[in-house]
């Protein structure tokens, strides 16, 4: 029986954040603006796509260890939005009794009614998009919540009985001073979530930040060396409070590592549904494919109705992974994690000389039978992966 994770993309947001490169549609752009008929239709498309994918790739009956409701902003959907889809998933697959079922919520939409509804749907983990506790930084980032909304959402999550709560933090939002950074770190530690994702801001093409950064030549943005310094300080502060850094940007109390993400880094199989979502599937003959849906709601809907779901003109695509692709993925995904990659295996794949060089530069180190990135290596991970990949 296949072991599978499921990712469900909800592409709607109240507005677009200035750093965001995910596929999402501000509600104001829906015509007519975000009415329930749009959502009903979208829920139907998600079920249809699950059905098409199950049939095409014989996924029915697969064993599901994790489900992730991501976005976009799943928490702005009507309370019953996911009911039929989850019923369908329960009927078509075998969900493990202890499966991790996560929903992303934004602080301003983390009200108790919504959280109870998610709980009764089977959600047992919440990921709250806090990003910062500084109202000025949040405004600059284009977020529509303030720090009080974060406290309210976290309190509501606890009240609704969620133990497994994750908070997202961005290090290096424009204007982040040392005081703001320490204030963010203190606030997150006060809430004491089971899991923290702390991402260093990266300016992605197509975002509002990208445009401003370019026009102003980076003026007003936090310098890279400060971001690196804050990251290192945060790692230390979290370690003091018994958070384990189990991946470059992810920290958790023991036993609260995200199973869904671990499956990605282990190159486990997953089914991704919704526009812009990717699926990764393996076959008995060794073939591996990654299928990525169109990042466009209309094209996605059109693909589903025609049962094509692939290829050409921005309609999504399917890649068949080569042996080289597989090796490169294995290297850069496993090296992201705290347990790293088996030393012998990395030596076979990349050559001992390269590893020795990285160790000498203080970017890698031996850890039991494995090779892991040092903290300095984690900060320079993109450059290391570019140098090491075959
Ligand atoms: S709420 Fe999340 S998905 Fe939506 S625009 Fe902001 S960062 Fe992107």
Q: Which domains does the chain have, with CATH numbers?
A: 3-264 (3.20.20.70), 341-388 (no CATH)
Q: How many CA atoms lie within 13 A of 227 on its CB side?
A: 21
Which residue in 357, 259, 271 sits closest to 309, CA to CA? 271
How sure is the predictor about 316, in pLDDT bands with cuts at 50, 70 and 90? confident
Rounded distance from Cα 344 to ligand 1 centre (Å): 41
Please work out whether the CB of residue 106 comes within 6 Å of at least one atom of ligand 1: yes
Cβ(157) – ligand 1 distance below 6 Å: no
CA-nearest residue for atom 7, ligand 1, is 20
Tell me the C-alpha distance between 201 and 19, whole Å: 8
Mean pLDDT score across all residues of the chain: 94
Q: Which residues have CB under 8 Å from 270's CB, separation 6+?
A: 4, 5, 6, 7, 263, 264, 278, 279, 280
- pLDDT over 60 at 32, yes or no: no
Q: In 3-state terms, what secondary structure has residue 312?
A: coil
Q: Is the pLDDT of residue 138 over 80?
A: yes
Mutate-to-test residue for ligand 1 from 10, 19, 71, highest number of ligand atoms within 8 A of CB: 71
- pLDDT surpasses 70 at 12: yes
pTM exceeds cut of 0.85: yes
Query: What value, to the nearest 5°, has the Cα angle with vertex 39 and ends 37 and 40?
Result: 65
Under the banding of pLDDT at 50, 70 and 90, the label for residue 37 is: low
DSSP letter assigned to residue 122: T
Is residue 168 within 8 Å of residue 127, measured between CB atoms? yes
Most informative mutation of 23, 73, 130 for ligand 1 (most atoms within 8 A of CB): 73
Question: Quick one: which of 68, 59, 75, 72 has its CA closest to 29?
Answer: 72
Residue to mutate, 11, 12, 21, 22, ligand 1, most ligand atoms under 8 Å from C-beta: 22
Q: Whose CA is nearest to atom 2 of ligand 1?
A: 72
Length of the chain: 390
Q: How far is CA 196 from CA 134, 188, 238, 319, 390, in A?
A: 17, 8, 9, 32, 32
Residue 22 Cβ contacting ligand 1 at under 6 Å? yes
Give the pLDDT score at 217. 83
Atom of ligand 1 nearest to the CA of 20: 8
Q: Answer yes or no: is pLDDT of 145 > 90.
A: yes
Is residue 71 in contact with ligand 1, taking CB distance under 6 Å?
yes
What per-residue confidence (pLDDT) applies to 305? 84
> DSSP string spanning 340-380?
-EEHHHHHHHH-HHHHHHHHHTTSEEEETTEEEE-HHHHHT
Residue among 8, 24, 143, 276 whose CB has most ligand 1 atoms within 8 A, to mutate: 24
Query: Does the pLDDT at position 346 exceed 90?
Result: yes
Among 121, 7, 116, smallest CA distance to 64 is for 7
Asked if 301 and 308 count as a contact pair (C-beta separation under 8 A), the reply is: no
* Spacing, Cα 154 to ligand 1 middle (Å): 18
Q: State yes or no: pLDDT of 44 exceeds 70.
A: yes
Give 103's strand partners: 69, 126
Nearest-atom index, ligand 1, CA of 72: 3
pLDDT at 79: 87
Q: What is the pLDDT of residues 156-177, one digit of tens each?
A: 999 999 999 999 999 999 989 9
| Mean predicted confidence (pLDDT) in 180-184 | 97
What is the per-residue DSSP string for 5-28?
EEEEEE-EESS--TT--S--EEGG
CA distances from 67 to 135, 222, 334 (A): 32, 35, 21
Asked whether 70 lines ligand 1 (CB < 6 A), one says no
Residues with Cβ < 8 Å from 65, sequence gap 6 or more? 3, 4, 5, 96, 99, 100, 259, 263
User: Which atom, in ligand 1's list, is nearest to the CA of 129?
Assistant: 2
| Model confidence pLDDT, tens digit, residues 277-296 | 999 999 999 999 999 999 99
């Amino acid at each position: 029986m296949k072991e599978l994770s499921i990712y469900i993309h909800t592409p709607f947001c109240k507005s677009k954040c200035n750093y965001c490169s995910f596929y999402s549609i501000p509600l104001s752009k829906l015509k007519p603006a975000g009415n329930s008929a749009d959502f009903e239709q979208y829920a139907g498309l998600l079920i249809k796509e699950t059905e098409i994918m199950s049939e095409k790739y014989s996924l029915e009956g697969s064993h599901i260890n994790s489900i992730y409701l991501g976005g976009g902003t799943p928490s702005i959907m009507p309370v019953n939005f996911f009911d039929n889809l989850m019923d369908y998933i329960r009927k078509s697959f075998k969900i493990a009794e202890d499966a991790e079922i996560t929903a992303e919520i934004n602080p301003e939409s983390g009200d108790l009614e919504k959280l109870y509804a998610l709980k009764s749907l089977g959600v047992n983990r919440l990921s709250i998009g806090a990003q910062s506790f500084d109202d000025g930084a949040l405004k600059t980032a284009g977020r529509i919540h303030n720090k009080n909304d974060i406290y309210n959402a976290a309190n509501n999550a606890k009240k609704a009985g969620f133990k497994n709560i994750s908070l997202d933090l961005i290090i290096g939002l424009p204007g982040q001073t040392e005081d703001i950074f320490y204030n963010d770190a203190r606030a997150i530690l006060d809430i004491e979530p089971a899991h923290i994702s702390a991402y260093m801001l990266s300016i992605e093409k197509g975002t509002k930040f990208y445009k401003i950064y370019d026009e102003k030549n980076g003026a007003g943005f936090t310098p890279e060396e400060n971001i690196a310094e804050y990251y290192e300080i945060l790692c230390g502060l979290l370690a003091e409070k018994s958070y384990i850094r189990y991946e470059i940007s992810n920290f958790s109390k023991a036993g609260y590592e995200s199973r869904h993400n671990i499956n990605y880094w282990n190159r486990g199989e997953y089914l991704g549904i919704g526009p812009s979502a990717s699926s990764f599937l393996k076959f008995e003959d060794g073939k591996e494919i990654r299928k990525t849906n169109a990042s466009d709601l209309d094209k996605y809907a059109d693909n589903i109705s025609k049962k094509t779901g692939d290829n050409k003109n921005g309609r999504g695509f399917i890649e068949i992974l080569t042996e080289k692709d597989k090796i490169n993925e294995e290297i850069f995904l496993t090296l992201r994690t705290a347990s790293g990659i088996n030393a012998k295996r990395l030596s076979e794949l990349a050559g001992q000389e390269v590893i020795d060089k990285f160790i000498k530069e203080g970017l890698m180190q031996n850890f039991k039978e494995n090779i892991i990135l040092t903290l300095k290596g984690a900060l320079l991970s993109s450059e290391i992966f570019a140098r090491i990949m075959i």
